[in-house]
Amino acid sequence: MNTEKKKPGLKRVLVALGIGAAMFAAMMAWRGGFTAADPAARWQCISDAFFVPGILLAAFGLLVWVADGGAFDALKFMVQKLFIIILSDEKRAKYPKTFYDYKVQQEAKERAPVSHLLWIGLGFIAAAGVALYVYSRYAPLT
């Protein structure tokens, strides 16, 4: 088994950044951040617009990381075993007979790196924190 860690390619990182930027722009448009006249309202929209894609990207990255670690392997094996009954004998013969065989087969597969999703999500959350700090400077104290 190959133990050296793969790094995500530039294309994967750019796609994740593009998705985050698109969610940022959609949130800004939805919340009226592009047209807000008040600086406090604008910074509040910016903070919200960074926070939403940050949480979604980080949560999705964590979910995929946990799934790659094997947390859902038993469930996946069970569901696939249930549906393999419908398939032909040829496909049924190729499918592992036991869960142990399935685990060995899954560990041999090459996994795509997903840590970039977590780091990009945390970057968006950090940017939301900075925007929240700036918003707190403009917001009136009540």
The pTM of this model reads 0.77
In a domain, 78, yes or no: yes
Give the E-state strand segments of the chain in sequence order. Answer: none
What pLDDT, on a 0 to 100 scale, did the predictor assign at position 48?
94
Q: How many CB atoms lie within 10 A of CB 17?
A: 16
Contacts of 74 (CB under 8 A, 6+ apart): 99
In a domain, 3, yes or no: no
In a domain, 142, yes or no: no
76-130 residue pLDDT tens: 888 888 888 777 777 777 788 888 888 888 888 887 788 899 999 999 999 999 9
- 4 pLDDT tier (thresholds 50, 70, 90): low
Give the number of domains in the chain. 1
19-47 residue pLDDT tens: 999 999 999 999 888 998 888 889 999 99
In a domain, 5, yes or no: no
In a domain, 2, yes or no: no
In a domain, 18, yes or no: yes
In a domain, 75, yes or no: yes
In a domain, 117, yes or no: yes
Domain with 114 in it: 10-136
